[in-house]
Amino acid sequence: MTEDALRRLPIALDARAMEARSEAELPRGSGWQYEPKFDGFRALAFRADGAAALTAKSGRPLARYFPEVAARLLALGVDDFVLDGELVIEGGGFSALQLRLHPAESRVRRLAAETPAALVLFDLLVAPGGRRLVDEPLSVRRAELERLFAKLAGAEGFRLAPATIELAEAERWLRRSGSGDYDGVVAKRLDGRYLCGERAMVKVKRVRTADCVVAGFRYLKDTKQVGSLLLGLYDDDGRLNHVGFTATISSSERPALTRGLQAMTTDRSFTGAAPGGPSRWSTEKSADWTPVRPELVVEVAFDQVTDARFRHGTRLVRWRPDKAPAQCRMEQLEA
């Protein structure tokens, strides 16, 4: 089902998902509902006129990459509804989802059979039969979603996201997040409408720190000034593995840091996984880096780990001259 076809449906609405703004802490007080933030692909699921569609929060179609989810939507015994949820692959994590974004249909269908995705449901925009709920408060939408989920009677491939109004439970979810199914916690007003495309929710991620070895660097584009530091951690076999990067280097620090790193260049630094090796992060630019002797240690802040790597760029907290590189170990990435 194309985006134009979605607009022509009897249940047509602004097909952009409601989004969240980042905050440092969970909101307190009455009137909030908390949900775990799942580490997957956000998706709106449409079922109408005997057809099913999945769209990303950008509005782009996803059913081509998750045909098994679209097929399960078609197999449900209800019609004319719109769900908001998260596509996840149990045991595969975010990297398994990314493998689906492949141009070869044969490969996508093979992966769909081998590692089927599930849709975790957390909101209902249009109730079965075409009744619009976007202007109803979350408390009403959640109750309708729970009724629909009960009606589905445990249909394969669909899960109901947990929800609570208890701050203590939400804080427990937050402490568990960062390297498993949960990517943080989302807070929503119980009296809030569904505002398509607006940042009307609050998301909070658990921020942790790790001491890492600086084992290489990349230059800023079109300059000879250091732009980012490549970070490594030692595994149980004593190999230094590339785990990510940090680019939060102040302009005043950059010239002296560049001179220091250039004086430390070497032929090889990473002895395990290295930038530019075969991985889903590899790009044409990923080989454009300079190894340095693994002697410097830096503390960085991070929020998410996937496949023993920082999912995003990290924030440089401080240099650690008091820390030996051999003390920087992979277990820091464990939950």
Which residues form the catalytic set? 37
Of the CA atoms within 13 Å of residue 239, those in its CB half-sphere come to 8
Q: What is the DSSP string of 211-227?
A: EEEEEEEEEPTTSSSEE
Q: What is the DSSP string of 190-257?
A: TT----TTSEEEEEE---EEEEEEEEEEEEPTTSSSEEEEEEEEE-TTS-EEEEEEE----TTTHHHH
Q: Measuring CA to CA, which residue among 210, 174, 216 is closest to residue 308?
A: 210
Q: Identify the burial level of 22 via C-beta atoms within 10 angstroms of its C-beta, where 0-12 means exposed, 13-18 middle and 19 or more buried.
A: exposed
Say which DSSP state 71 is in: H
Contact 203, 27 (CB under 8 A): no
Strands (E), the chain: 19-22, 32-38, 41-48, 51-55, 81-88, 118-127, 131-132, 158-160, 182-189, 199-204, 208-219, 226-234, 240-246, 290-302, 315-319
Say which DSSP state 333 is in: G
Q: Measuring CA to CA, which residue among 298, 300, 313, 217 is closest to residue 261?
A: 217
User: What is the distance between the terminal CA atoms of the chain, rounded to a whole angstrom?
Assistant: 40
Triad 110, 115, 121: Cα angle to 5°: 125
Contact 129, 170 (CB under 8 A): no
Q: What is the DSSP string of 34-59?
A: EEEEESSEEEEEEEETTEEEEE-TTS
